[in-house]
Amino acid sequence: MPQCSNTVGEKVPMSQITKDTKGSVYAILSGFLYGFIGYFGISALNDDLSITNMLFWRFAVSTAVIGALLIYKRHQIQVNLSEIIKAFLFGALFYGGSAITYFMASDYIGTGLSMVIVFTYPIFVLLSNAIFDGHKITNLYYISVTIIMIGTIMLVNGEDMHFDYYGVFLALACAVTYAAYVVLSKKQMSHLDPLTSSFIVSFANCLLFFAMAIFDKTILIPSNLSTWLDVAGVGLICTALPILFLLEAMKYISSEKASLLSVLEPVCVVVIGVHLLHESLSLIQIAGIVLILGSAVLVQFEKLSKQITS
């Protein structure tokens, strides 16, 4: 098996480097694409869709896209009933929980402060793995989380922020439920391939938010092209692809590393604001982008850090 030397003189299998690189790229793509959710999701809500109705259409599109991929690839769904049930329940409870609490929190405290609080979720991933699985958390991860938080705060537009205890609680609930989804996806659904898992998660949320929209009497079919484009964007770009890429990433790397690398959403939000909404970019925001990107590079030195501290 081909090998290469690392900086401390040990041999590292080339196949392992390839797996780490694959997983990292998938995690970064997941975070970047998920960053479009503010643009498409808020646009759909501004077109008079309720949160539950928008989320129903979001996951309906995602289910249709991933289902089409399954059919196109003649994909053989792995029949493991217990893991299929887990994927369905965890997807509805935790992924769905994070989806609705994010938009609810944004109503109370604005998207800026919501984004800062939600992106504490890697901390909950790290703590969960340390407490329940005995994972050793390296100093490098703590440094990376700190840099991410500082960088994210620097990206926030202060005019969009206003404090509200309930809004903060909802944003924290979003962070915790998304962290739970990441951890449980890695631990409990490891035998389901990413395409099958993504379909089950999307379908579970489609049913969940359809029922919720029926219950609150806000279900309706979008009536104009712009709303359909927003729904298509939030379903494909912000849901189907990020779910698939994150699950694909965790085939190769740990859940804590995937969570740290997928937090490029704030960078994407700012880039969208500049290029699509013609917003200005301050020097502080540029510095925040540099910090977040730097943390994504820093976490790649995980293996070297473990060797140095061992």
DSSP assignment, residue 2?
Answer: -
**What are the residues whose beta carbons fall under 8 Å from the beta carbon of 82, sequence distance 6 or more?**
none
**What are the residues whose beta carbons fall under 8 Å from the beta carbon of 140, sequence distance 6 or more?**
298, 299, 301, 302, 305
How many domains would you assign to the chain?
A: 1
d(CA 24, CA 19): 9
Q: Residue 130 is part of which domain span? A: 3-309
d(CA 297, CA 102): 27
Closest alpha carbon to 99 in 188, 205, 250: 205
Q: What's residue 217's pLDDT?
A: 92
What confidence tens digit (pLDDT) does each residue in 79-111 have? Answer: 677 888 888 999 999 999 999 999 898 888 777
For the stretch 224-244, what's the b/e string if a residue is b when 16 or more beta carbons lie within 10 angstroms of its beta carbon? eeebbebbbbbbbbbbbbbbb
Neighbouring C-beta atoms of residue 157, cutoff 10 Å: 17
pTM: 0.76
- Got the DSSP string for 42-68? HHHHHTT--HHHHHHHHHHHHHHHHHH
d(CA 23, CA 34): 17
pLDDT(202) > 80 = yes
Q: What's residue 75's pLDDT?
A: 56
Name the most confidently modeled range: 113-117, 226-230, 245-249.
226-230
Computed over every residue of the chain, the mean pLDDT equals 79
What confidence tens digit (pLDDT) does each residue in 9-48 have? Answer: 444 454 555 777 888 888 888 888 887 877 788 888 888 8
Chain-centre distance for alpha carbon 209: 19
At residue 61 the predicted structure's pLDDT band, cuts being 50, 70 and 90, is very high
For the stretch 78-93, what's the b/e string if a residue is b when 16 or more beta carbons lie within 10 angstroms of its beta carbon? eeeeebbebbbebbbb
Q: Are 62 and 235 in contact (CB under 8 A)?
A: yes
